[in-house]
Amino acid sequence: QPQFHADVAGPVFRADHVSVVLGGQQILFDVSFSIKPREVVALLGANGSGKSTVVRAALSIVPLLSGTVSAFGQPLGADTDWNRIAYVPQRLPASIGIPATAMEVVRAGALSRRHFRVGTKKAAREALTIMGMQHRAHQPLQEMSGGQQQRVLIARALVRKPELLFLDEP
């Protein structure tokens, strides 16, 4: 269980008036939302409506045209403690061509400045168990179904015990 810090009054995450341009076309127009502690928020909409772009823009994966984003009361940026925030993408990137086992992928989620933290193996086993994938720990990801791969990606996000978890079509 993640420990929630009492350093924020109000929302733990906030996006204000976010707009995004991708490929020369404006994709998001003036989007605002906030997330309170222990709140579960779902974005619903048709395919291609910008749900993934909202998440990626909020996490600074794609640049903002305008607007601001903050986590735990501080603007997102170089000073952000990214260990407190985790992101699960829709799918594995196509560039993952390197054969990696589920355990290796999950442990990679605990890397900090290119070093594993103490207790990483144990935390990775726990995260795989939470996701019901402990029996596949030493199986290469490329041999797994899409759903199994997604569960490994969620375990990779959980290994750090984040306070804020973003899941893109889990």
DSSP the chain: -PPPPS--SS-SEEEEEEEEEETTEEEEEEEEEEE-TT--------TTSSHHHHHHHHTTSS--SEEEEEETTEESSTT--GGGEEEE-SS--TT--S--BHHHHHHHTTEETTEEPTTHHHHHHHHHHHTT-GGGTTSBGGGS-HHHHHHHHHHHHHTT--SEEEES--
Which tens digits make up the pLDDT trace of 95-119?
556 688 999 999 988 876 555 566 7
Arithmetic mean of pLDDT, 123-142: 95
- Asked if residue 4 has pLDDT above 80, the reply is no
Predicted confidence (pLDDT) per residue in 44-92, tens digit: 999 888 899 999 999 989 999 999 999 999 998 878 888 899 999 887 6
Q: Average pLDDT of the chain?
A: 86
- Predicted confidence (pLDDT) per residue in 143-166, tens digit: 999 899 999 999 999 998 899 999
pTM over 0.85: no
From CA 74, how far away is CA 68, in angstroms rounded? Answer: 10
State what percent of residues in the chain have pLDDT above 90.
59
